[in-house]
Copies of this chain bind each other. A is one copy, B any other.
């Protein structure tokens, strides 16, 4: 913030801000009881909450906000919740019969894991949209896809050398929970009860929860709901500011498979964000383009409710998050039109495999959005672009991105064709597991790392160094050459052995 604006704000705020309304801050009796111990035992949680909007506004006030500024979408907030701020007890005692981790705690029926269905009491629309988000199904989409399970085994499986060969046995739950399922979400399960001696209240009983802790986007909760709000709105501030800043997405979108955070940080948008964001307003709802911020973050393009300077809506809020996404850049093994349904376990390609494309890049079209829907989504995305860029700029960018999808898919096809010849010739075993040999891992590098990195760099940054030298075309080409030379060498060796 500039020096001058600091001062103007100070004056402005003095004139505008009413004294804190006591009623606004009314804490329920139950929450007051929680705070009595937990403010001391868990000062981090207590203070986080105290700074949160939840601690400042009652749902009754929040619902009263008119127009696009309204943050709470439910029209049926239960009476019991309306007139107290949202505190510990409001969330952790909600719908006690639905949560398998509900336990008696100092006279209250508490559950540990708050779920999107709890949040839906006030944030109904957002919770519903999230059920349509492919992320909410991230657990099953990985755990119940037989082919992806082979990939998982070939990465985190426990390795043993048996007779000069590497064998894999499935990873244990602890390893799974902090690798793939850290982001995808774990499946929670109550495994009995334990008694612990506490400082303030002596012996108390607590449920033992398998798969805990976890904040994955597709966590299977103890009320059978899917997902979690805290991957993006971290506990216990649940801040909109945090979800709008690009670091929120970095936790899961950083590796070479989905290098969104790295690509953004090296893009023009990321540069503008880094250098200027301290004077932006990350809390304003709706979010006014140009006034509240000068360059998009992840949320701007994929989620946020945006308006122009006249207050007209440019993009509607979305927790489905893919309604501005015609393409899924992430190759499996090719980039493809976005899946129709959030549950991708139902997809079968023409070879009856649970993949959105076949190995020869034929899309499993009946499970993917069609061209009409792709156009709707393209326009939805471009509405934000066009607020800062002319039409020819936006069209030029988009054409390059679609060219890149085509180009990288072609390179993946060339490589996959080699791989299939390798399997056919018996130089590797693609049947048992197509991902678990060294040469197969080079193939995986191609479609999972380099093609994806190139596409993310193109889509989010319009290109740059990441598209060429940092896991981009340079590495794609190099690895294709290595596979081709390995294959040639195998053929030569086979021939030479035959001739002996």
- Which residues of A are in contact with B by a Cβ distance under 8 Å? 3-4, 6-7, 9-10, 13-14, 17, 39-48, 51, 112, 154-161, 164-166, 171-172, 174-175, 177-180, 182-183, 196, 206-209, 212-213, 215, 234, 237, 239, 241-242, 245, 247-248, 250-258, 261, 265-268, 270-272, 274-276, 278, 288-291, 294, 308-310, 386-393, 396-397, 399-400, 403-404, 407, 410-411, 414, 417-418, 436-438, 441, 448-449, 457-458, 461-470, 472-474, 477-478, 480-482, 484-485, 487-488, 491
User: Do the beta carbons of B268 and A469 come within 8 Å of each other?
Assistant: no
Copies per complex?
A: 3
Bound Cα distance from A491 to B305, whole angstroms:
63
Question: Whole-angstrom distance from the CB of A332 to the nearest CB of chain B?
Answer: 15
Is B294 within 8 A of A48, CB to CB? yes
Taken together as a complex, chains A and B put the C-alpha atoms of A155 and B477 apart, in Å, by 6
A312 closest partner in B (C-beta): B40
- Of B161, B171, B271, B488, the contact of A251 (CB 8 Å cutoff): B271
Instruction: Quote the shortest CB–CB distance from A226 to chain B (angstroms).
Output: 20
Question: In angstroms, how far is the closest chain B Cβ from the Cβ of A471?
Answer: 9
How distant is the Cα of A237 from the Cα of B295 in the complex, in angstroms?
Answer: 11
For A310, what are the chain B residues with a Cβ–Cβ distance below 8 Å?
40
| Residue contact A175 to B294, C-beta cutoff 8 Å | no
Q: Which of A178, A478, A491 has the most CB of B within 10 A?
A: A178
Residues of B within 8 A of A469 (CB): 255-257, 448-449
Task: Determine the residue in chain B with the shortest Cβ distance to A281.
Answer: B3
A42's contact among B207, B242, B274, B388, by CB below 8 Å, is which? B388
Q: Is the CB of B392 within 8 A of A42?
A: no
Q: Which residues of B contact A289 (CB under 8 A)?
A: 43-44, 47
Given A248-B271, A473-B155, A212 contacting B276 (CB threshold 8 A): no
Interface pair A391/B206, CB less than 8 Å apart: yes
Contact across chains for B468 and A388 when beta carbons are under 8 A apart: no
How far apart are the CA atoms of A178 and B1 in the complex, in Å? 34
**Given the interface contacts A248-B271, A387-B42, A438-B481, does A156 sit within 8 Å of B468 by beta carbon?**
yes
Given contacts A4-B17, A161-B417, A438-B485, contact A43 B308 (CB under 8 A): yes
Q: For the complex, what is the distance from the CA of A155 to the CA of B255, rounded to whole Å?
A: 22
Minimal beta-carbon separation of A303 from chain B (angstroms): 15
Q: Decide: A251 and B267 in contact? CB cutoff 8 A.
A: yes
List 19 extra interface pairs beyond A156-B477, A247-B274, CB under 8 A: A45-B290, A47-B309, A160-B414, A174-B404, A175-B407, A178-B467, A179-B468, A179-B472, A182-B463, A208-B392, A212-B393, A213-B389, A248-B275, A251-B266, A255-B466, A257-B465, A257-B469, A261-B266, A438-B481
Q: How many angstroms from the CA of A45 to the CA of B396 in the assembled complex?
A: 18
Q: Is the CB of B290 within 8 A of A44?
A: yes
A101 to chain B, nearest CB (A): 10
Residues of B within 8 A of A183 (CB): 464-465
A34 to chain B, nearest CB (A): 13
Q: Which residues of B contact A47 (CB under 8 A)?
A: 289-291, 294, 309
| 21 residue pairs from A and B, CB less than 8 Å apart | A3-B10, A3-B13, A6-B10, A43-B387, A45-B290, A47-B309, A158-B410, A161-B414, A161-B418, A164-B491, A179-B468, A182-B464, A212-B392, A215-B268, A245-B275, A248-B275, A251-B267, A251-B461, A254-B464, A257-B465, A438-B478
Contacts of A158 in B (CB 8 A): 407, 410
Residue pair B462, A182 in contact (C-beta under 8 Å): yes
B387-A44 in contact (CB<8A):
yes
Contact A252 B388 (CB under 8 A): no
B392-A154 in contact (CB<8A): no
- Asked, given contacts A271-B248, A294-B47, A392-B112, whether A164 binds B484 with beta carbons under 8 Å apart, the answer is yes
